[in-house]
Structure 1
Amino acid sequence: MHDQEERILLGHGSGGRLSHDLIENIMVAAFANPALAELHDGARLGIGGTKLAFATDSYVVKPRFFPGGDIGKLAVCGTVNDLAMCGAAPLYLSAGFILEEGLPVDELRRIVASMSTMAQTAGVAIVTGDTKVVEKGAVDGIYINTAGIGALLPQADITAKRVKPDQVVIVSGYLGDHAIAVMGERHGLTLPQQIISDCAPLNKLIQTLLAAVPAVSMLRDPTRGGLATTLNEIAADAGVGILLDESAIPVRPEVQAVCELLGFDPLYLANEGKVVVFVEREYSKKVLTIMRQYPVSNAARIIGTVTAKPAGQVALRTTIGGLRLLDMLTGEQLPRIC
C-alpha cells in the first residue's frame, strides 16, 4: 500500500513552522548558497566594490482593497521594508502583474496609482516589470510580485549573529492591526474605525536609526506569523533565548477585543508597518527617542530582553506573573493576508 502523497497546504504559506520547514527542506536544499543561507528578509550581496541588498515578494491578499491600503500599496511597502530590514537604502523596484480576465480596468488603475504614490513616498523608482493575463478563474483578480535592490548602509551590520544576551527587544508600535483590518473587510464585519492596516514604508525611519545608532544588531518586520514567529526565528538563528513582558506589548484594545471574540492571538497576527529592533540596553533610550519622532513608530517601546538560555526559545512573562512558552505559528490563522 502506497503512502498518501504529500501536498501543499494553506499552512505552508503562513510564515510559521510549516512555511519554515518547506523553505528549509525544499528551497534552501535545492538552491544552497551563502547569501541564501542567512535566511534574512533579503540577500546581502557584494558586486565588485558595491554592497547591495536584493529582495522579492509576491502579494495575493484577499480582498484587494481594505481599510488603510490595497494590494498595490502592500506590494511596494513590503519589498521596501524587506530591503530596509537588511540595513539597506531601497533604490529600485520591479513590478510583475498576473491579471485575471475580467478584472475591471478601473481597479487596476487604482492599484497602480497606489503603487506610484507609495514609491514616491518611499523614494524609490519602479523601473521594470511584466504583465500576464490568465483565464477567468485562474487567479483571484490580480497577483503582484515586486523585487527590489538597495545599497547597504556602510555603518549597518544587520544579522542574527550579533544578537547577544542582555540586549533589549523594541517594537515600533501596535500589533495585529493589518491582519484584523483585512479579516474584517474579507468577512464583511463592522469593526471600530481605529482598526486600519498599518501598511507603510519604514525605510526612512530605519536609515535615520542606523545612522545614529550603528550598534543596532538586528531588524525584522513581523509580517506573516506575527511577532512570536519572527522572534522564534531570530532566537534559533542567534542561539539565544528571548523573554517578553506581556504588559509592555502594545495591542490596541479594539484589536484585542476582536482577537478574544474570534479566538486569535495578536502575537501571531501579521503586521505590515512594524519593525522589531535588537540593540544593547545602553542605546535603547536613543533608539526610542528617534523612533518616536516618526508617525509610523511613535508608539515604540521595549517589550523584552535577550537571555543566554534557553537557547532558541521565546517566553512571555504574563501579566499574572507566570511564564508562557511562545512557539512558531503552526497551521494558518488567516490565509492570504499579504
Structure 2
Amino acid sequence: MKQEFIDLAHGAGGTKMDELLELIMKNIKYRKVGEGIGLDEKDDGATIPIGNKRIVTSIDGHTVHPIFFPGGDLGKLAITGTINDICVMGAKPLAILSSIIIEEGFPVKKLQAIIDSLAKTAEENQVAIIAGDTKVMPRGTIDEMVITTAGIGFIEDEQLDIQDSNLQPGDKLIISGTVGDHGIALMAGREGISFETELVSDVASVREIVEAALKVGGVVAMKDPTRGGLASALNEFAEKSNVSLWLEDEKIPIAPAVYAASEMLGLEPLGVTCEGRVLLAVKAEKATEVLKAIKELPLGKNAAIIGEVRAERPRYVLSKTVVGGHRIIEKPIGEQIPRVC
C-alpha cells in the first residue's frame, strides 16, 4: 500500500479497501479450513467443512452514526447485518456472538434501547445470542458505542454451491428491492434535508427472501450490497467470475426520494449502502420463478431482474442508459457516505 496513513475510504468497501485488505492479509499463512471458503475468496463469510456438512461464519463491526436513524438503530443493524452475511452464503443463521464497546458517560437509557432492539431483532429471526463481551472506554476515546457481531450458520443442502465466482454467461441478475435507501436516509438526516416522502433506511433481515429464492432453485451467487452499494457488489461478481454484467438503468429500482436526494447531494445511488437487500445471480430458466417468489414477500415487492451475464468484455459492469448508450459502472473508490454501517 502506497499511503503512509489510513483514511476513512480504506474502510468503505471500494478499491481503497481492497488495498487495505491486501496489507492486512498478506502475512496470514493459514487462510481457510480444509476445502472451505476462506480469506482468499473475500466473500461475505467463510465455511468450515465437517464431514459432508458446512458451518458458515461471519463477523462485522458496526460503527453507524447516528446510532438512532430513520427506520432503525445500531442494535437492529448489528443483528441484521450479520444475519444477512450468513444468509447470502446460502446458510441458515443459528447464533450470534456480540462484542459491545461503550464510551464512558453514555446514557443508560440509550444503551437499554439499543440492547432491547438488538435482542428483539435476534428473537424475530429465531437466532440465539449465545456469548458476548462488553467493555467501557474512557470518554472521548470512542464515539458513543460500537458493536461487533459474529454469526454462525449451517448449510443444510450438501449440494448447494453459492459463491461470487459461480456466474456464467446467460445467468440473470435480480435485486430484491430499491437501492440506496439506507445510506441516503442517514445522509439526509445528518444534513437536515427533508422531502415530501420520508427517507427511511431499508435495514432488515433478508432471511425470508433468501429462503424463498433457494426453495425455487437456480441461485448460483448472492451478495448483500452494503458498503460500496450495488455498484461494488456487481463489480465483485464480475471480477471473481471473470464475466461481464449488462444492466439497464431503467430496470434498477430506485425510490423517487432517494433519486432526488442523490441528485441534490451529488451522489451515485448505485454506490450507496443498502442494509436489507440481496443481489442474486440466477440461472436464466429459473429467474422468472425466483423473482415471483421474492415479490410475494413484503420486503421483495420492488424486486426486479436488472440484467444478465455475458462473456464479452470480462470484469466490466455496463448499464444501458435511457438514451440508448452504455455506461461503465465502476467499483467505488470508497463509500460516498462514511459510517453508515
Same fold flag (TM > 0.5) = yes
**Contact 1:216 1:278 (C-alpha < 8 Å) held by counterparts:** yes
What residue in structure 2 maps to residue 144 of structure 1? 147
* Residue 12 (structure 2) aligned to one of 6, 11, 14: 14
* Residue 72 (structure 1) aligned to one of 75, 81, 84: 75
What residue in structure 1 maps to residue 66 of structure 2? 63
Amino acid at match of 2:123: Q
What residue in structure 1 maps to residue 212 of structure 2? 208
**1:130 CA displacement:** 0.3
Partner secondary structure for residue 145 of structure 1: strand
How does 1:1-338 map onto structure 2 within 5 Å? 6-27=4-25, 29-30=27-28, 33-34=31-32, 35-154=38-157, 155-213=159-217, 215-338=218-341
Instruction: Flag structure 2 segments of 5+ consecutive residues without an equivalent.
Output: 33-37
- 1:283-329 Cα deviation digits (max 9, x unpaired): 11110111011111111111011010211111111111111111110
**1:24 CA displacement:** 2.5
- How many residues align? The count is 334
**Contact 1:240 1:307 (C-alpha < 8 Å) held by counterparts:** yes
The answer to which of 24-33 and 39-48 deviates more is 24-33
**1:31 CA displacement:** 5.0
- 1:182-231 Cα deviation digits (max 9, x unpaired): 11222233244431000000112212321221x21000011010111111
Following the alignment from structure 2 to structure 1, what is the Cα–Cα distance between the partners of residues 275 and 196? 19
Partner secondary structure for residue 165 of structure 2: helix
Amino acid at match of 1:68: G
Following the alignment from structure 2 to structure 1, what is the Cα–Cα distance between the partners of residues 68 and 334? 25
Partner secondary structure for residue 187 of structure 2: helix
- 1:160-201 Cα deviation digits (max 9, x unpaired): 232100111010110111001111222233244431000000
- Give percent identity, aligned residues only: 40
Instruction: Flag structure 1 segments of 5+ consecutive residues without an equivalent.
Output: none
**1:27 CA displacement:** 2.2
**1:32 CA displacement:** 5.1
Q: TM-score of the superposition, structure 2-length normalised?
A: 0.95
Partner secondary structure for residue 110 of structure 1: helix
What residue in structure 1 maps to residue 35 of structure 2? none
Following the alignment from structure 1 to structure 2, what is the Cα–Cα distance between the partners of residues 45 and 270? 29
**Contact 1:28 1:37 (C-alpha < 8 Å) held by counterparts:** no
Report the RMSD for the aligned CA atoms in angstroms: 1.4
**Contact 2:216 2:286 (C-alpha < 8 Å) held by counterparts:** no
Partner secondary structure for residue 324 of structure 2: coil
Following the alignment from structure 1 to structure 2, what is the Cα–Cα distance between the partners of residues 29 and 258? 43
**Contact 1:122 1:204 (C-alpha < 8 Å) held by counterparts:** no
Change in 2 beyond 3 A, CA 1:44/1:11: same
Following the alignment from structure 2 to structure 1, what is the Cα–Cα distance between the partners of residues 48 and 195? 44
